C-alpha cells in the first residue's frame, strides 16, 4: 500500500458543518455543479480535463 505524508490542515469542513445538514447539502450541490455539469461539455470531456489537470498538478490522490 502507498504511503503519503499528511499535513495538518485543521478541522475537516464537513465535520465542522455536521450540525447543519442544509449547509452540507448546499456545499455538495455547489461542488457537483462546479465540478461536473456546469458547462456544455459532455461528462467524458469534463472527466478528461479533470484527469489531465490532476496529472499536470501531480495530484497524489
List the helix and strand counts (H, then E) for the chain. Answer: 3, 0
- State which residues form the domain around 18: 13-56
DSSP state of 22: H
The domain total for the chain is: 1
Q: Is the pLDDT of residue 51 over 80?
A: yes
Whole-number mean pLDDT of the chain? Answer: 83
Do residues 39 and 46 touch, judged by C-beta distance below 8 A? yes
Do residues 17 and 24 touch, judged by C-beta distance below 8 A? yes
Whether residue 6 lies inside any domain: the answer is no
Dist CA 54 CA 49 (whole Å) = 9
Whether residue 1 lies inside any domain: the answer is no
Average pLDDT over residues 4-33: 80
Q: What percent of the chain has pLDDT over 90?
A: 30
- Position 27 scores a pLDDT of 87
Amino acid at each position: 500500500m502507498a504511503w503519503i505524508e499528511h499535513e495538518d490542515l485543521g478541522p475537516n469542513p464537513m465535520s465542522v458543518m455536521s450540525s447543519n445538514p442544509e449547509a452540507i447539502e448546499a456545499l455538495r450541490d455547489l461542488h457537483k455543479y462546479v465540478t461536473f455539469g456546469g458547462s456544455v461539455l459532455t461528462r467524458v470531456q469534463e472527466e478528461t480535463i479533470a484527469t489531465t489537470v490532476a496529472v499536470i498538478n501531480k495530484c497524489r490522490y
